[in-house]
């Protein structure tokens, strides 16, 4: 079940909200836990046991770390236990077949693949539970003594399958006491509707264009750029739309999840881009991998090593395919170059040139990300740079004409135009209310009409 589906919007979520608001506060976590387990079991009835097992492991390890807080050896043993068990689970289900395929290819043998289904959201809830154990070890949070409360934290359906990665410290107090009122509910509902519109109307439409162009046998230079620009917009509106829906639902329930996107496509460097894109993942790798390795407070060669380790792991986190490894190395190299070679030059460039430089590199990065097969990736790159065909053809003209409006809308809404307009409208509360009422009612009508009439409703981050 995905948020942008009829069963979720008209059955699951309304029934959940009715019961959630009906019961006294002391039962709200229980209702949230039950519905979160139902939500997960809807798509993964067997793998729900995996999530419960992971929760039990980290709950026990957290309690043991707290119990032996004054015994460094035992304390560290339980921390290592948490990390190893979590990484084994993640590696087995996500990377076993990738490893077997690589061995088969290198040694020309035929070890049978396990063909395990990927548990939905395993990359997200594994990182959440690991961060909890590490934070308890560091003394940054207290261990949770109520298992149902801890299980609720791990399984909360608003952010379970696609993040943002919520650290325990962010919601530890709200799990026990939180503000549930009309203001939070209405703000959350508007945020959810905005995210739903971004996902269904923008991401799905530009995503369909990418599907067409990437499968074309007659693609031109401009057609190939049109296709990958469409994917660049799709993945932003797909993922940020889902994050908006998660944050909105969190507010409706009394939780304040941290922001996960901050208009990344306005960045003027790759370094800035990764401060604005998937913020919860970037900060996770910074705090739990990069800094423990020594961060930047080491000699240059070690700092470069640290950056490359983090980005190879970031690539692998996204998927079990060599294109993701290549994607991670690509960004690792770019960040090293910006930090040690290009920094002074970039600072001297006009903002518009810095922005163009960044966007081109981002688009190329998404191409590596989008195409798993290395040979196909190579052919597409050839097409982009005029090594495989015509600069322009009728196919490009046809699809540009058909998708120009939605591409323009997507481009505009990938900039901070909404906060700018909101700031201006705040001067007149009544006018702001009327405009928002008209806009959001239009959002709902258009979105629901699209969901009812169209079967194309993918979600890219399900595979992560």
Output the tens digit of pLDDT for each of the chain's 464 residues. 788 888 898 899 999 999 999 999 999 999 999 999 999 888 778 888 888 999 999 999 999 999 999 898 999 999 999 999 999 999 998 898 888 988 988 888 888 888 888 888 888 889 999 999 999 999 999 999 999 999 999 999 998 877 789 999 999 999 998 988 888 998 899 899 889 999 988 999 999 999 999 988 888 999 999 999 999 999 999 999 999 999 999 999 999 999 999 999 999 999 999 999 999 999 999 999 999 999 888 999 999 999 999 999 999 998 888 999 999 999 999 999 999 998 889 989 999 999 999 999 999 999 999 999 889 999 899 999 988 778 888 899 999 999 999 999 999 999 998 778 777 777 776 777 677 777 778 777 877 777 776 666 665 555 55
Q: Which parts of 23-121 fold into alpha helices (H)?
A: 28-43, 48-67, 72-107
Domain boundary (149, 178, 207) is at: 178
pLDDT at 296: 87
State the burial class of residue 199 (Cβ atoms within 10 Å of its Cβ: 0-12, 13-18, 19+): buried
pTM of full prediction above 0.85: yes
**Is residue 199 domain-shared with residue 232, that is, in the same domain?**
yes
The domain tally of the chain equals 2
Q: Provide the residue range defining the domain that includes 301.
A: 184-463
* Residue 187: count of CB within 10 angstroms of its CB: 14
Q: Do 307 and 84 meet the contact criterion of CB atoms below 8 Å apart?
A: no
**Is residue 268 domain-shared with residue 166, that is, in the same domain?**
no
- 453: which residues sit within 8 A by CB, 6+ positions away? none
Domain boundary (178, 209, 238) is at: 178
**Is residue 112 domain-shared with residue 218, that is, in the same domain?**
no
pLDDT at 464: 53
In a domain, 1, yes or no: no
Domain boundary (178, 213, 228) is at: 178
CA angle 271, 307, 385 (to 5 degrees): 60
**Is residue 150 domain-shared with residue 200, that is, in the same domain?**
no
**Is residue 246 domain-shared with residue 170, that is, in the same domain?**
no
| Greatest pairwise CA separation for the chain in angstroms | 72
Q: Do 150 and 55 meet the contact criterion of CB atoms below 8 Å apart?
A: yes
Q: Do 107 and 99 meet the contact criterion of CB atoms below 8 Å apart?
A: no
**Is residue 100 domain-shared with residue 53, that is, in the same domain?**
yes
- CA-to-CA dists, residue 223 to 235, 365, 367, 381, 446, angstroms: 19, 18, 14, 12, 29
- Catalytic residue check, 318: yes
Considering the candidates 145, 278, 318, 355, report the single residue annotated as catalytic.
Answer: 318
**Is residue 172 domain-shared with residue 250, that is, in the same domain?**
no
**Is residue 240 domain-shared with residue 387, that is, in the same domain?**
yes
């Amino acid at each position: 079940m995905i948020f942008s589906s009829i069963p979720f919007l008209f059955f699951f979520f309304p029934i959940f909200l009715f019961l959630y608001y009906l019961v006294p506060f002391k039962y709200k976590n229980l209702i949230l836990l039950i519905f979160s387990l139902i939500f997960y079991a809807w798509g993964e009835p067997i793998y729900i046991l995996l999530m419960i097992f992971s929760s039990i492991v980290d709950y026990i390890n957290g309690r043991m770390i707290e119990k032996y807080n004054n015994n460094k050896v035992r304390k560290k043993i339980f921390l290592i236990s948490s990390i190893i068990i979590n990484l084994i689970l993640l590696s087995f289900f996500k990377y076993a077949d990738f490893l077997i395929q690589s061995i088969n290819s290198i040694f020309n043998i035929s070890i049978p693949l396990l063909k395990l289904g990927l548990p939905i959201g395993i990359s997200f809830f594994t990182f959440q539970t690991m961060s909890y154990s590490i934070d308890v070890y560091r003394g940054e949070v207290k261990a949770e003594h109520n298992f149902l409360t801890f299980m609720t934290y791990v399984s909360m359906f608003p952010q379970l399958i696609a993040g943002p990665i919520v650290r325990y410290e962010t919601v530890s107090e709200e799990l026990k006491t939180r503000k549930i009122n009309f203001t939070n509910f209405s703000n959350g509902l508007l945020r959810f509707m905005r995210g739903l519109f971004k996902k269904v109307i923008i991401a799905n439409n530009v995503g369909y264009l990418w599907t067409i162009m990437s499968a074309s046998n007659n693609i031109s230079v401009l057609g190939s750029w049109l296709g990958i620009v469409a994917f660049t917009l799709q993945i932003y509106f797909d993922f940020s739309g889902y994050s908006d829906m998660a944050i909105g639902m969190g507010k409706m329930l009394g939780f304040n999840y941290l922001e996960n996107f901050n208009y990344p496509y306005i960045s003027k460097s790759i370094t800035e881009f990764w401060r604005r894109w998937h913020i919860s993942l970037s900060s996770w790798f910074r705090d739990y991998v990069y800094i423990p390795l020594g961060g930047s407070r080491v000699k240059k060669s070690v700092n470069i090593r640290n950056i490359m380790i983090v980005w190879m792991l970031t690539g692998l986190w996204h998927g079990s395919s060599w294109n993701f490894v290549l994607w991670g190395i690509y960004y690792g190299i770019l960040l090293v170059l910006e930090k040690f070679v290009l920094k002074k030059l970039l600072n001297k460039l006009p903002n518009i040139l810095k922005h163009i430089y960044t966007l081109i590199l981002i688009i190329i990065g998404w191409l590596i990300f989008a195409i798993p097969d290395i040979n196909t990736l190579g052919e597409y790159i050839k097409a982009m740079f005029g090594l495989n065909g015509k600069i322009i053809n009728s196919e490009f003209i046809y699809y540009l004409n058909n998708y120009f409006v939605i591409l323009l809308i997507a481009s505009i809404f990938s900039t901070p135009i909404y906060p700018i307009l909101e700031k201006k409208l705040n001067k007149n509360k009544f006018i702001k209310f009327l405009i928002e009422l008209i806009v959001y009612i239009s959002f709902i009508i258009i979105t629901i009409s699209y969901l009812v009439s169209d079967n194309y409703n993918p979600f890219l981050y399900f595979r992560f």
